[in-house]
Amino acid sequence: MKNLIGYFAIIFITLIFSGCSKQLKPTVVYIPELNKIAIAEIGQNMYEKVYAVYPSKEAVKFLDTESIARFGNGANYFKKLKSSECVMLLLSNKGSLYVKLRDKNCDGEFTVVERTFLFENTTLNKPIKYKIIPATPTKIINSASKYVVLYQGRVGNKLNIAFQSFVSVLGKFKIKEGFTQNIQYELDENGEALIGFKGLRIKVLRATNFDIIYQVISDYN
User: For residue 221, what pLDDT is reported?
Assistant: 80
Q: What share of the chain is helix, strand, coil (3-state, %, to 5)?
A: 10, 60, 30
What is the number of alpha carbons within 13 Å of residue 9 lying toward its C-beta?
Answer: 27
Q: Is the model more confident about 36 or about 84?
A: 36
Residue 15: is its pLDDT beyond 50? no
**Longest C-alpha distance within the chain, in Å?**
74
User: For residue 21, what pLDDT is reported?
Assistant: 42
Q: How confident is the model at residue 217 (pLDDT cuts 50, 70, 90)?
A: very high
pTM: 0.54
| Spatial separation of the C-alpha atoms in residues 148 and 124, rounded to whole Å | 44
- Mean predicted confidence (pLDDT) in 117-141: 76
User: For residue 20, what pLDDT is reported?
Assistant: 43
Residue 94: is its pLDDT beyond 80? no
| Spatial separation of the C-alpha atoms in residues 71 and 73, rounded to whole Å | 7
Residue 158: is its pLDDT beyond 90? yes
Are 194 and 203 a contacting pair, CB within 8 Å?
A: yes
- Mean predicted confidence (pLDDT) in 109-130: 79
Percentage of the chain exceeding pLDDT 90: 28
Q: In what order do the strands lie in the sheet with 158-169?
A: 145-155, 158-169, 172-186
